[in-house]
Chain A
Amino acid sequence: MARTERQLPSRILVLGATSAIASGVMRPLAAQGAQFYLVTRDPRKLAAVAADLQTRGAGAVFTHLMDLDDTDAHGSMLADAAQKLGTIDMALLAHGVLGDQEKAQSDYAAAEAILKTNFLSAVSLITWLANYFEQTRQGTLAVISSVAGDRGRKSNYVYGASKGALNVFLDGVRNRIDRSGVHVLTIKPGFVATPMTAHLDQNALFAHPSGIGDGILKAIRKRKDVAYLPPIWALIMLMIRSIPNAVFKKMNL
């Protein structure tokens, strides 16, 4: 059954606000006068992002500097966001690191750091936000995961595991709070030309962050559960997931 399209949210908490994909989501919302609470750790980048949103028409831009790995400080930051925005009607989790796979293969501390940023800090934030949205019986929880979480491959399985764990966690959260009117959106971008991927050889599969942003807004309006972006990745990952391990383990991916 086709669901009716919704209005876009207007009071938005953005975690990892300097992400290029987050900018692609925030700019069209700013043009409609949305209010933002931006969280990131680099003051100069945060100032540039805040100025951009303000110039494009944001109703208000609140900023909060913190390292999101500091899970102890999540509660006070989230309470401040809820207070400043009045109501949070969307939270966008956009922080994350690609990490160094080679280092993480031999150094547990490096692997742990990737899991801490991409998974554990997200668990801490989502725990608070899921309860907040469940109690207010509204809200959109949009989380940027990755196609890398669909299957582990040798070139980035630590990153992939952090995103795969996040996907499973979100499936469970959705199963719990969808019935309270909360929209939980798992976003799985393929390759996107962002600072995170700047060191990789970029081919035709690399998408521009503004196109990904438009795709996320569309997924929010359509209340999708999982959005592969660009959509071709749904097909690519279906094929990759269906390769038997007997073959997959011999491939160079």
Chain B
Amino acid sequence: MPRNPQPKFESWGRYPRLHANVVPLSWTTDFPLAKPPATKLLPVGAGRSYGDVCLLDGGTLLKTRGMDRLLHFDPQTGILCCEAGVTLAEILDFAVPRGFFLPVSPGTKYVTVGGAIANDIHGKNHHVAGTFGCHVPRFELVRSDGARFVCSATENADWFSATIGGMGLTGLISWAEIRLRPIVSRAIQYRGTKFIGIDEFVALSQASAQPVYTVAWIDCAATGNNFARGIYMQGDHSSMPGELTPSKRPWLTLPLDLPEFALNRFSVSLFNTLYYNKQRAKEKTGLVDYEPFFYPLDSLLQWNRMYGKSGLLQFQCVLPWEADHQMGIVKILKAITASGLASFLAVLKVFGDVPSPGMMSFPAPGITLALDFPIRTEVSFDLLDRLARITQEHGGRMYPAKDARMTAEEFQSFYPQWQAFARYIDPAFSSAFWERVTARG
């Protein structure tokens, strides 16, 4: 067989790996391309989504990281206008010394603004602040035919709605405005509370006076009396004026792929037990820096190598509230525990009801669970298929930016608006994800 001349690309999950050409974009005027290729196109930012939403087999990836300029900042309103390839880390470097912070922070700061909008990402403050797209007053969308639309809730509102959470398919986001929030310190006033079981988690998350940021780490390896134990973490920006220095660059890189056997049910159980018991008391409070609070994994560059060269699968679902006990979440956790495939990185959070402007946005009111699995071929795939079925049975949905597995039937039931959205897709654009979830059976 002749060698495919296109190099292979992988997302952060490193699965799947697909061939594509790359055209770097350095200026907002670089698109449309002077010489459009014969293949389909897909913009890709930092490539930090997990599955195939940022991949396109046999296509041309438009890498936006070169579009990394800040264009305007108004300290009165906190609105920053920047090119779409700017990362959230670069925004923090700029904003924190000026007393501002991101309106919504995902679990890593190494994503681009364009990617944050295209996947309508969320963070620990979803229950009060909604998604990233809720804090984007305007952006420019460039179509492959050269049309340029400035989109907001009032101008080109339908394009605005289709592009937020539109997975990069509606055209290239060239620049965007983001409404930053003021802070007076790097510090976060933190409180960690240990819990056992989903009911206790729900009770904690429904207690009055919820702070701005809440999330729970959950031990998906624990069984028996310890089933669904975890730490409920809450935080608020400290109101005491403190340091506003920029962050140091991380120096620690995982230099090689760990062998596949490094993560197994024993090492994960051990790690989780140590982590759970590191906090001795039921409750712990104090001031912590925002870096470990928001981005605990960013200090280890290339942490995805922990999963070995076969990569990892992510799973994230949201299930709507159930009348009494949250049976859907319990069923999912039981399936994961029984599989023995759980990893350290499992997160539980309550989504609020702040609506996103995005037509295809993932978050919805209810409980969301996110975790990753090592790829152990069919065992991992079978488990993900089972989790998708439980999600479907309980009226939930899954997150495209963290998926490499859901079927067309599942996607179309999770996002019944997909055909209305498809009308906004740029005719020159596609993605491996989109081809997978719209394939005719």
- Knowing A56-B94, A195-B66, the reply to whether A48 touches B27 (Cβ < 8 A) is yes
Q: How long is the Cα–Cα vector from A56 to B83 in the complex, in angstroms?
A: 14
Residue numbers in B under 8 Å from A193 (CB-CB): 24
Q: How long is the Cα–Cα vector from A48 to B71 in the complex, in angstroms?
A: 7
Q: How long is the Cα–Cα vector from A193 to B26 in the complex, in angstroms?
A: 11
Question: Are A48 and B83 in contact, with the CB atoms below 8 A?
Answer: yes
Question: Are A55 and B66 in contact, with the CB atoms below 8 A?
Answer: no
Q: How long is the Cα–Cα vector from A48 to B28 in the complex, in angstroms?
A: 9
- Contacting B at CB under 8 A, from A36-57, are 44-45, 48-49, 51-52, 55-56
Residue numbers in A under 8 Å from B28 (CB-CB): 48
The A interface, classified by DSSP as helix, strand, loop or mixed, is helix
Question: Are B71 and A195 in contact, with the CB atoms below 8 A?
Answer: no
Whole-angstrom distance from the CB of B65 to the nearest CB of chain A? 9
Interface assignment of A130: CB less than 8 Å from any CB of chain B: no
- Contacting B at CB under 8 A, from A169-202, are 193-195, 198, 201
Residue numbers in A under 8 Å from B23 (CB-CB): 198
Question: Are A51 and B71 in contact, with the CB atoms below 8 A?
Answer: yes
Q: Mark B25-41, 1 if CB is under 8 A from A, else 0.
A: 01111000000000000
Q: How long is the Cα–Cα vector from A193 to B23 in the complex, in angstroms?
A: 12
Size bracket of the B interface: 10 to 19
Question: Are A49 and B29 in contact, with the CB atoms below 8 A?
Answer: no
Question: Are B24 and A198 in contact, with the CB atoms below 8 A?
Answer: yes
Question: Are A52 and B66 in contact, with the CB atoms below 8 A?
Answer: no
Interface assignment of A20: CB less than 8 Å from any CB of chain B: yes
Question: Are B27 and A44 in contact, with the CB atoms below 8 A?
Answer: yes
Interface assignment of B73: CB less than 8 Å from any CB of chain A: yes
Whole-angstrom distance from the CB of B57 to the nearest CB of chain A? 20
Question: Are B70 and A56 in contact, with the CB atoms below 8 A?
Answer: yes
Instruction: Specify the chain A residue showing the minimal Cβ separation from B80.
Output: A55
Whole-angstrom distance from the CB of A55 to the nearest CB of chain B? 4
Question: Are A49 and B69 in contact, with the CB atoms below 8 A?
Answer: yes
Residue numbers in B under 8 Å from A195 (CB-CB): 24, 26, 66
Whole-angstrom distance from the CB of B234 to the nearest CB of chain A? 34
Q: How long is the Cα–Cα vector from A195 to B66 in the complex, in angstroms?
A: 8
Instruction: Specify the chain A residue showing the minimal Cβ separation from B72.
Output: A55
* B26, B29, B83, B94: residue with the most chain A Cβ atoms closer than 10 Å: B26
Residue numbers in A under 8 Å from B73 (CB-CB): 55
Whole-angstrom distance from the CB of B332 to the nearest CB of chain A? 40
Whole-angstrom distance from the CB of A42 to the nearest CB of chain B? 8
Q: Which of B26, B29, B70, B94 contacts A20 (CB 8 A)?
A: B26
* Apart from the given pairs A52-B69, A55-B94, A56-B94, 20 other A-B contacts in the complex at a CB distance below 8 Å: A20-B66, A23-B69, A44-B29, A45-B29, A48-B27, A48-B28, A48-B69, A48-B71, A48-B83, A51-B69, A51-B70, A51-B72, A52-B70, A52-B71, A55-B71, A55-B73, A193-B24, A195-B26, A198-B23, A201-B7
Question: What are 9 A-B residue pairs whose CB atoms fall within 8 Å in the complex?
Answer: A48-B27, A51-B69, A51-B71, A51-B72, A52-B69, A194-B26, A195-B26, A198-B24, A198-B26
Ranked 6 nearest A-B pairs via Cβ: A52-B69, A55-B70, A51-B71, A195-B26, A198-B24, A55-B73
A residues near B, CB below 8 A? 20, 23, 44-45, 48-49, 51-52, 55-56, 193-195, 198, 201
